[in-house]
Amino acid sequence: MADLVRRRLKLVVGVTALAELVVFALVAAWIGVGWTVLATLATSALGCSLLARQGTRALADLRERARTRRSPGAELGNAGLVAAGGLLMVLPGFIGDLVGLLCLLPGTRGLVRRALGGLVLSRLPDRMRGPVRVTSTRAPGVGEWHGPAGAPLVIEGEVLRDADGRPAT
């Protein structure tokens, strides 16, 4: 299992590096090598600036949550995305800069968080996913059961298997 993950990681890093080189060459052919190097340095400086500003804000949110003894929730994810986005912006390459910018900007960070959450959730086995919340609505008076005192009978429980015998998802 670990070997498979290691091979996939090497493949992703290799393909990303190749894509960065191709984009760098295309931009250099379009605007010139000097301007391309200058643009790479400018995006790295912008990344440092955004990382400092957004990182300070994310850490302040985490400190406030810890001070009030509330769960860090989304603030912890924001801090992680800010760190990853800052790293991607500081490293040279235009594709990494674009992805890093999406992680650093507050307006797009939620989109990245939802996309990563969906990706992680889709890779988890069914038994490791969270509980399913099911709601039901009934028309008044239809199918109501009453207990001994005439009060509606409420049965609490959880669905462990669906009708086909598979674990409920």
Distance CA 26, CA 29 (A): 5
Greater model confidence, 98 or 106: 98
Average pLDDT of 56-70? 84
Give the rounded percent of residues in the chain with a pLDDT score beyond 90: 27
Which pLDDT belongs to residue 64? 86
Q: How far apart are CA 27 and CA 45, in angstroms?
A: 19
Q: SS3 of 167, please?
A: strand
Domains in the chain: boundaries: 2-128
pLDDT of the residue at 160: 67
* pLDDT tops 70 at residue 121: yes
Contact in structure between 84 and 102 (CB atoms under 8 Å): no
| pLDDT, the chain, mean | 81
Secondary-structure breakdown of the chain: helix, strand, coil percentages, each rounded to the nearest 5? 65, 0, 30
Closest to 74 (Cα-Cα) out of 116, 35, 18, 36: 116
pLDDT of residue 139 exceeding 60 = no
Assign 136 a pLDDT band (cuts: 50, 70, 90).
Answer: low
The predicted pLDDT at position 133 comes to 66
pTM above 0.85, yes or no: no
